[in-house]
Chains A and B, each alone.
Chain A
Amino acid sequence: MKNFSFTNNRKVFFIIAAVVIVLGICSFIFRGFNVDIDFIGGTTIQLEMNKELSAADLDDIKATISAVEVGDAPDKLYETPEETEAVTEAATEEATEAATEEVAEEETEAVTEEATEAVTEETTEEANKEEAVVLPKILVKPQVSTVQKAGEGTQVIIKLLELDSETRDALCHILAGKYGLNLTTDLLGVNNVGASVSSDLRTAAITAALIAILLMLVYISFRFEILSGVTAVICLAHDVFVMFAAYSILQIPLNSTMIAAVLTILGYSINATIIVFDRIRENVKLHSKDNFDTNVDLSIKQTFRRSVNTSLTTLFTIGMVYILGVDSIKQFALPIIVGIFAGFYSSVCLSGNIWSALKKLFNKSRV
């Protein structure tokens, strides 16, 4: 560490960064992104299948859904019947009670009785209607895009083009019938995002990110000089790029939590860069006779322990979240972990070097 020079190995660091960026671009082109329904609209259904799933099982589920046609309906509703009944009864009772109370306020007793009867009749009718269950029907032919394993390998997430409520309901019941599921406990989640909402979410996400970045940059330029601001932007761009490369290479679903993850890393990485710049600022004042590179190297070394320790402690917490978390949280934690490594690399190996390189580039004419 003592003999290693961060500034003399500048080219090596730049080349490593360039290689990662080229790899990322290749992945963007050839693998693309796993864009979630938040941004393009669609429906996802998450089911607990109660057994270890093989690739053949997933294909089977996909085939089952593809075979569903408009007008299909499940044989029956796959829920715990007692519960449904209980709810209906309770609702009926409540409704009757409420109606009775309301009418009971009336003065004429005869009317009260008659009216109560009429109302009771009405509610009983309603209850009867509910008991003679109307099975949901497939109204639109479901179009599956992917069927993926989730959880500990016993769950499945089915991604489809947007479906209406009744079709979703019918589809879930059809799947429950085929695979012996109890929807009350095995239907883990249903998500549906319409086209208008997804475009709004996209706009809101991009607006928030741009405003946050702009404000952070204004703050940095105000606290440091303009070249360091430019350097910070380059480092941030590097970190975000690496995160997106991770999204593409690992096919992590790209949804609205991505914005939160990216902004977390932007804030985190800017912290790290500021700590290094703060040192450089201080060392340039203290050792003004030394050249800039020497001061940069010294500053990186002085802050190295802090950079390592902070990354470690943050990794402890977010790492535990990744290890123990449920899928949606894993998908949020993984890019953050990648971003912490990228942020560490850019603040330690790139920031000082880029600042120094920019300084040489722009001051050449003057020297």
Chain B
Amino acid sequence: MKKQSTNVLAFILAILVIAGLVCVAIFGVGDMPGVFDEGGVTQGLDLVGGSYIVYEADAENPSDEDMATVRAMLRQRLDSLGYTEATLAASGDNRIAIEIPAITDPEEAVQKLGSTAVLLFVDIDGNVWLEGSDIEKAEAMYGDSDGNGVSEAFVSLKIKPESVSKFAEATRTISKKTDGNNILFIALDDEIISYPYVNEELNTSDVVISGAFTTEETVWLADLISAGKLPFALKEVQLESVGPTLGEKALKTSLIAGAIGLALVMLFMIIFYRLPGIVATLALIAYSSLMGIILVLGNNFINLSLPGIAGIILSIGMAVDANVVIFERIKEELRLGRSVGAAFTGGFKRAYAAVIDSNVTTLIAAAVLWYFGTGTVKGFAITLFIGVLLSLISAVLITRFLLARLVGMKIVNKKYYGA
């Protein structure tokens, strides 16, 4: 009798835990937002609208440094165009992939971002003295550049030999200006990136730009100056752009499809398997909540796209499979005349091998796609992989625990188990 009440208590506790999971998933907890909250789930570009642009270096084998320079330049351009939420990543040896959410004119972005960088050296009156092609190299360095015994971060600029005379003339002219006007503006794409003072004529190829820089600042400046003398152009090789109208519709319809599909599955399970069906429904609710929580917690690297939603919906279908296999086995055992308790133990035992084997094969497929896939395929693989893992937990552990409590409560009328 005592044992029976422990089972009732455990069952109620389990249901409370599941209810708690649902609340956490929907409303969030502490710093963690809920799935429907702003900043909860990171939505893919196909859901919020936006552009995915891939640029390729128009050169045979661009060096890693050149590619780093290109990335720094693109970041700068993204920021100056106002696309601060854009993400940028290297893709292969010679490509860079950019994702810009909620953008209205993708072609403008493609053209502006990919245009050849224009680097100009200008004086305060607007006269252009040198261009990007006059520069041989720009490097961020650290050391005692002016011989005053203090080490500092500075940018070392190497002028091409044929341009040294031009640079000498520029510095001579600028240094003769009144104090405060003797500035050499360095502008990239019409934006001033540095404005050093010039105090004397510099008739040399090695120039130093210094002045209370941090190391990051010198790296940034050196990268941008280097961008102005890039030996190759950027070629747009891929554009995927989804307008906000289509994205919004896609999200809404997919959510409705998921909800209806889930409801149908639950209804089917309850009608067909009765009490175990109800348990399976509880397990599915736990599964959905856990999936939501993982999507929120992992929103830095999981991007929920349309194929991702398809992956989740498919894994729901597969989560049910494990339960179907187990419940069918229990029914069979009951038909053989076993007691509910014996049928429960036997059914689970016999079903395990099949459930594990079948889920492992799907996990293998999902893992390979996750590793090798790109874009849409990857989004699908990630949610399918997580979905199958979670479905194993929900279908095997949660269902088993709840069913064992029901048996322990002496709810053993075979009718309740669909026999």
Contact = CB atoms under 8 A, between A and B. Distances in A.
A313 B361 contact: no
B375 A314 contact: no
A212 interface: yes
Given A204-B372, A317-B316, A192 B377 contact: no
B243 interface: yes
A102 interface: yes
B105 A79 contact: yes
B372 A208 contact: yes
Interface stretch (A21-29, A242-250, A301-309, A352-360): A301-309
A193 B258 CA distance: 31
A164 B111 CA distance: 10
Contacts of A115: 124, 183, 195
Contact of A317 (B105, B313, B324, B372): B313
A122 interface: yes
B264 A316 contact: yes
B353 A278 contact: yes
Given A314-B318, A318-B313, A216 B365 contact: yes
B373 A329 contact: no
A194 B3 CA distance: 68
B332 A302 contact: yes
A344 interface: no
A323 B257 contact: yes
Contacts of B377: 205, 208, 256-257, 259-260
A263 B353 CA distance: 22
A275 B357 CA distance: 9
A260 B361 CA distance: 15
B328 A306 contact: yes
B239 A332 contact: no
B237 interface: yes
A196 interface: yes
B368 A260 contact: no
Interface residues of A, number: 97
A303 B355 CA distance: 13
Contacts of A192: 236, 238-240
Contacts of B260: 320, 324
Identify whether the interface residues of B are mostly helix, strand, loop, or mixed.
helix
A342 to B, nearest CB: 16
Contact of B369 (A200, A212, A321): A212
A320 B261 contact: yes
Contacts of A95: 80, 191
Interface residues on B, range: 35 or more
A326 B328 contact: no
Contacts of A18: none
A191 interface: yes
Interface in B136-170: none
A189 to B, nearest CB: 5
A313 B265 contact: yes
B161 to A, nearest CB: 31
A217 to B, nearest CB: 9
Contacts of A267: 361-362, 364-366
Interface in A274-327: 274-275, 278, 282, 302-303, 305-306, 309-310, 312-321, 323-326
Contacts of B384: 264
Interface stretch (B19-27, B65-73, B199-207, B247-255): B247-255
B30 interface: no
A193 B238 contact: yes
A89 to B, nearest CB: 11
A211 interface: yes
B380 interface: yes
Contacts of B126: 118
A310 B324 contact: yes
Nearest to B237: A194
A26 to B, nearest CB: 30
A268 interface: yes
Interface string A162-205: 00111011001000000000001111111111101100110011
A326 B238 contact: no
B105 A259 contact: no
A278 B192 contact: no
A328 B47 CA distance: 12
A68 to B, nearest CB: 16
Top-9 shortest CB links A-B: A314-B317, A271-B358, A317-B261, A194-B237, A208-B372, A169-B107, A267-B362, A212-B368, A320-B261
Given A194-B235, A220-B361, A321-B309, 18 more contacts: A119-B192, A166-B107, A189-B241, A192-B238, A208-B372, A211-B368, A212-B364, A260-B380, A260-B381, A263-B368, A267-B366, A271-B358, A303-B328, A313-B317, A316-B265, A317-B261, A317-B313, A328-B46
